[in-house]
Structure 1
Amino acid sequence: AQKAAAAPAEKADSSSAKAEAPKASSNDVAPTSAPAPKASNVVTVGNRWIGNSAYVFGGGRSQSDINRGLFDCSSFVHWAYSQVGVNLGPLGSVSTETLKHAGTQVSSSQMQPGDLVFFDTYKKDGHVGIYVGGGKFIGAQSSTGVAIANMSSGYWKQKFNGRVVRI
């Protein structure tokens, strides 16, 4: 399934720090159309998994998987947002389909760090990541585990479908 549609290896951005970002207050979870102050936290919180995680289709839906850094794309997004106090629904049922309806659709020309970006891989909206700025996103990719990938050229540019969701 997902493994058969694996992307060519995308290299992690070597300048990314591996430190975990501070957690935001769980009292500040209301979605807004403007970027939330926690947007900078959600784009960096996942850096701790760069280089020490693995992609597993259906992974990341148990604390055991999370502790071992085993994620698929949607469970990684769910985990990252949970680290900054945003609940994206039940972990056991998170998917790209649930995430594309989790916030407000915005134009790709209005993309901001912290927005969810969607890609047509093995199906329409088959992959999701978190936009970090500069034409890059962080996500759990089948070829790399959690990594920062370039969506401005190559494979991810071809697969980006223009769907952007602001949480």
Structure 2
Amino acid sequence: MKVIDAGKTLIGKTRYVFGGGRSQSDINAGRFDCSSFVRWAFEQVGVNVGPMSGVTTDTLKTQGQAINPKDMKPGDMVFFDTYKIDGHVGIYVGDNQFLGCQGKTGVAIASMAKGTYFGERFNGRVKRF
């Protein structure tokens, strides 16, 4: 899936900064938060999910087509209830894993299997472009 391949190019090259990724200088320096990373990855494959300065989990959750979690496919956006409802977003890669920009790792693949941090916070919201 092209959006996943694009996102994977940033693994090990970023750090998580809440509110980061909303300027070209942040992007050049590898500073992203979860929603700005998702916006960047989709932009790389020609999908506009909103302006660089204004994309948040709250704007992303209104985009795309709602998908039943049992029908998730790689490339779908997945949402998690962290510090708030829909406080974190990533891109599903398959096998109960997603690609996202997280606090301790920056852009990385994380587990959303039952019993894991994100697995316990996955709220069932899945969106597809």
Question: Same fold, TM exceeding 0.5?
Answer: yes
Distance 1:43 1:81 in 2: 9
In the alignment, is residue 166 of structure 1 matched against residue 124 of structure 2? no
1:22-54: CA deviation from partner (whole Å, max 9, x where unpaired): xxxxxxxxxxxxxxxxxx000121112111210
CA RMSD of aligned residues (A): 0.7
1:45 matches 2:19: no
AA matched with 2:122: F
1:146 aligned residue:
107
Which sections of structure 1, spanning at least 5 residues, go unmatched?
A: 1-39
Aligned residue number for residue 92 of structure 1: 53
Kindly provide the amino acid, as one letter, of the partner of residue 77 in structure 2: L
Amino acid at match of 2:93: V
Where in structure 1 do 4 or more consecutive aligned residues deviate above 2 Å?
A: none
- Alpha-carbon separation, structure 1, partners of 2:90 and 2:72: 13
Query: Once the two structures are aligned, what percentage of the paired residues are identical?
Result: 60
Structure 2 gap segments, 5+ residues each: none
Deviations 1:45-80 (A, max 9, x none): 111211121000000011111111110000000000
Deviates more, 1:121-130 or 1:89-98: 89-98
In the alignment, does 2:16 pair up with 1:55?
yes
Q: TM-score, normalised by structure 1?
A: 0.75
Residue 76 in 1 paired to residue 34 in 2? no
More strand by share: 2
Instruction: Give the counterpart letter for 2:69 in structure 1.
Output: S
Following TM superposition, by how much is the alpha carbon of 1:97 offset from its aligned partner in structure 2, in angstroms? 0.6
SS of the residue 2:22 aligns to: coil
CA positional deviation for 1:165: 0.5
Q: Which amino acid aligns with 1:163?
A: R
1:67 aligns with 2:28: yes
Report the count of equivalent residues. 128
Tell me whether 1:112 sits opposite 2:76 in the alignment. no
Q: Name the CA distance, whole Å, in 1 between partners of 2:121 and 2:104.
A: 15
Write the mapping of 1:6-45 to structure 2, written as runs, cut at 5 A.
40-45=1-6
Equivalent residue for 2:90, pick from 97, 117, 129: 129
Q: Which amino acid aligns with 1:91?
A: M
